[in-house]
């Protein structure tokens, strides 16, 4: 059943000069509130592009544009909605927004339109989350994955797990209720095999989490090393343009630089840092501290050494710092010839030349491989950390049941409780059950107007 909440409004397009700027409104009794501000020829028709004028309180025309009215329940939110397409001037759009606010329409919170769509059953929670992913997608692969989730693919996969669990539960419940009667029940082996099958399916879905998180947020990849080993040169080579300053002078990079690129469709935040060394130069010192700080937020550190020069204590000291972090050793300047001692010390290293581009493809592959990024050419949906958390809880409960069942007999009443708990976690993923807290944390990452 669709419920109409109080009317809200937001500007749905970014605030800058553009051909068109859109205001979105949604809520019960919306039209009555704003009617006086709109000059409309003829009668208001559902889903019809009306050419209208927007008037301010003094009756002055503020702008002319297109208005579309979507009466409940056939709208994005399920409520009465209006979309108003005006000229894309930020001042004008703010003025229009204020006009609606003065009519008692409230400013929407981030994600509030989509939240209402969810609450009105227009989409499940996984689809609502996909809307934010879609808007924030920074690569084609991320975009396609979000689109598939929006189309309900992940919902269907979780839904299937839910169906199976429900089916199992119905057998167990029947067993309890009609234990005296002659109805079909499942043998312990059948229950165990169903549970194991469910566990396997969950396991398979869980393998997509890491890749999913990288697709959503990007991989933080930091280039770290001694001065002059070629970090900035590698940074430029990976980006494919001369972004960072490169000179033969050690200590060229003073601050860290960050740029975006994609590796096989996965967004990457590539970070170039100041070469780490003991220095008295106050500016360089700050740069070095920043480099050390950046290490902590990196998913993977590329430790760069100059393979043509003798290794120095400085290199080894930095390498010590990286021990506890996910890292790859990159031996640079392969075009000049690499020293045996360097290769012996780092037998796993990727050999590259930032100058000629040699080894860069291998480096890119190794980065994805090391981070466990699992990409397929076939359509795929990827789980997020929220889903992972709940799936793991569900998985944990199923595991306890399997363990107990294997070890001894379990009363059907106890089995039922277990299965219900596991089911509850799956339902929380789709949003069959949800609390205000969960919804708050999900929708707060949206932009206003969506
Ligand atoms: N031959 C050769 N020279 C390179 C290569 N990579 C970098 N260089 C040279 O090494 C010098 C230092 O390169 P940068 O990229 O500035 O080194 P960096 O590690 O960023 O140095 P800092 O910013 O000072 O920490 C420059 O003269 C580069 O041209 C390479 O693969 N081959
Ligand atoms: Mg540099």
CATH number of domain containing 25: 3.30.1360.120
CB distance 258 to 273 below 8 Å = no
Interatomic CA distance for residues 419 and 166, integer angstroms: 8
Show which of 330, 350, 370 is a domain's final residue: 370
Tokens in use for 214?
A: 């990288």
Ligand nearest to the CA of 307: 1
HSE-up of 394 (CA within 13 Å, CB side)? 30
Show which of 124, 152, 185 is a domain's final residue: 124
Pocket mutation for ligand 1, best pick of 227, 228, 333 (most atoms within 8 Å of C-beta)? 228
Ligand 1 in reach of 307 Cβ (< 6 A): no
Q: Is the same domain home to 236 and 343? A: yes
Ligand nearest to the CA of 238: 1
Q: Is the same domain home to 219 and 346? A: yes
Residue 444 lies in a domain: no
Ligand 1 in reach of 444 Cβ (< 6 A): no
Residue having the nearest C-alpha atom to atom 24 of ligand 1: 251
CB distance 387 to 429 below 8 Å = yes
Count up the domains in the chain and report the number: 3
Ligand nearest to the CA of 246: 1
* Ligand 2: centre distance to CA 286 (Å): 15
Ligand nearest to the CA of 355: 1
Pocket mutation for ligand 1, best pick of 354, 356, 360, 363 (most atoms within 8 Å of C-beta)? 354
Residue 375 lies in a domain: no
| Residue 313, SS3 per DSSP | helix
Ligand 1 in reach of 247 Cβ (< 6 A): yes
Atom of ligand 1 nearest to the CA of 334: 31
**Burial class of residue 309 in the structure, from the number of CB atoms within 10 Å of its CB (0-12 exposed, 13-18 middle, 19+ buried):** middle
Query: Smallest Cα–Cα separation from 301: which of 209, 354, 231?
Result: 231
360 has which bridge partners?
Answer: none
Q: What is the pLDDT along the chain (450 residues), one digit of tens a residue?
A: 789 999 999 999 998 999 999 999 999 999 999 999 999 999 999 999 999 999 998 999 999 999 999 999 999 999 999 999 999 999 999 999 999 999 999 999 999 999 999 999 999 999 999 999 999 999 988 999 999 999 999 999 999 999 999 999 888 888 777 766 666 677 888 889 999 999 999 999 998 999 999 998 899 999 999 999 999 999 999 999 999 999 999 989 988 899 999 999 899 999 999 988 888 888 888 888 888 888 889 999 999 999 999 999 999 999 998 888 999 999 999 999 999 999 999 999 999 999 999 999 999 999 999 998 988 777 678 999 999 999 999 999 999 999 999 988 888 889 999 999 999 999 999 988 777 777 777 788 788 888
Residue 403 lies in a domain: yes
Interatomic CA distance for residues 301 and 450, integer angstroms: 36
* Ligand 1: centre distance to CA 254 (Å): 14
Residue 171 lies in a domain: yes
Ligand 1 in reach of 251 Cβ (< 6 A): yes
**DSSP letter (8 states) at residue 310:** P
Radius of gyration of the chain (CA): 29
* Ligand 2: centre distance to CA 212 (Å): 31
CB distance 71 to 49 below 8 Å = no
Q: Looking only at Cα atoms, what is the longest distance across the chain?
A: 88
Residue 377 lies in a domain: no
Query: Whole domain around residue 262: which residue ranges?
Result: 215-370
Ligand 1 in reach of 245 Cβ (< 6 A): no
Q: Is the same domain home to 145 and 290? A: no
Burial 71-89 (b: 16+ CB within 10 A, else e): bbbebbbbbbbbbbbbebb
Interatomic CA distance for residues 310 and 339, integer angstroms: 7
- What distances in angstroms separate CA 165 from CA 172, 417, 423, one per listed residue? 11, 12, 7
pTM above 0.85, yes or no: no
* Ligand 1: centre distance to CA 218 (Å): 26
Q: Is the same domain home to 23 and 120? A: yes
Interatomic CA distance for residues 395 and 316, integer angstroms: 43
| Residue 46, SS3 per DSSP | strand
Q: Is the same domain home to 249 and 285? A: yes
Strands (E), 333-426: 350-351
Residue having the nearest C-alpha atom to atom 8 of ligand 1: 230
């Amino acid at each position: 059943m669709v419920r109409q909440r109080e009317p809200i409004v937001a500007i749905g397009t970014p605030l800058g000069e553009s051909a068109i700027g859109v205001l979105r409104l949604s809520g019960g009794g919306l039209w009555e509130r704003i009617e006086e501000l709109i000059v409309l020829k003829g009668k208001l028709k559902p889903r019809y592009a009306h050419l209208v004028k927007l008037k301010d309180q003094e009756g002055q025309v503020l702008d002319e544009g297109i208005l579309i009215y979507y009466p409940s329940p056939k709208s994005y939110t399920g409520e009465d909605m209006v979309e108003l397409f005006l000229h894309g001037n930020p001042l004008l759009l703010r003025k229009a927004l204020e006009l609606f606010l003065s009519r008692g329409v409230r400013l929407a919170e981030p994600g509030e339109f989509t939240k209402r769509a969810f609450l009105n059953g227009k989409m499940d929670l996984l689809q609502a989350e996909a809307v934010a992913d879609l808007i924030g997608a920074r690569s084609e692969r991320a975009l396609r994955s979000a689109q598939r989730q929006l189309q309900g693919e992940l919902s269907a996969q979780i839904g299937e797990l839910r169906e199976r669990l429900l089916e199992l539960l119905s057998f167990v419940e029947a067993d309890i209720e009609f234990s005296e009667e002659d109805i079909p029940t499942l043998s312990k082996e059948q229950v165990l095999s169903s549970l194991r099958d469910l566990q396997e399916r969950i396991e398979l879905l869980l393998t997509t989490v890491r890749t999913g998180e990288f697709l959503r947020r990007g991989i933080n990849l930091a280039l770290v090393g001694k001065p002059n080993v070629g970090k900035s040169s590698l940074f430029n080579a990976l980006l494919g343009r001369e972004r960072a300053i490169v000179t033969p002078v050690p200590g060229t990079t003073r601050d860290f630089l960050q740029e975006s690129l994609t590796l096989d469709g996965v967004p990457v935040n590539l970070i170039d840092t100041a070469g780490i060394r003991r220095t008295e130069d106050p500016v360089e010192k700050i740069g070095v501290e920043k480099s050390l700080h950046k290490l902590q937020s990196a998913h993977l550190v590329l430790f760069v050494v100059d393979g043509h020069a003798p290794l120095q204590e400085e290199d080894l000291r930095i390498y010590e710092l990286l021990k506890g972090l996910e890292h790859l050793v990159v031996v640079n300047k392969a075009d000049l010839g690499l020293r045996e001692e360097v290769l012996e010390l780092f037998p796993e290293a990727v050999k590259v030349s930032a100058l000629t581009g040699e080894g860069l493809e291998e480096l890119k592959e190794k980065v994805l491989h090391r981070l466990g990024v699992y990409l397929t050419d076939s359509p795929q949906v990827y789980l997020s950390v929220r889903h992972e958390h709940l799936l793991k809880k569900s998985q944990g409960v199923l595991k306890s049941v399997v363990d107990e069942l294997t070890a001894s007999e379990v009363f059907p009443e106890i089995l039922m409780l277990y299965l219900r708990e596991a089911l509850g976690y799956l339902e929380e993923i789709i949003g069959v059950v949800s609390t205000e807290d969960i919804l708050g944390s999900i929708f707060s990452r949206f932009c206003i107007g969506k």
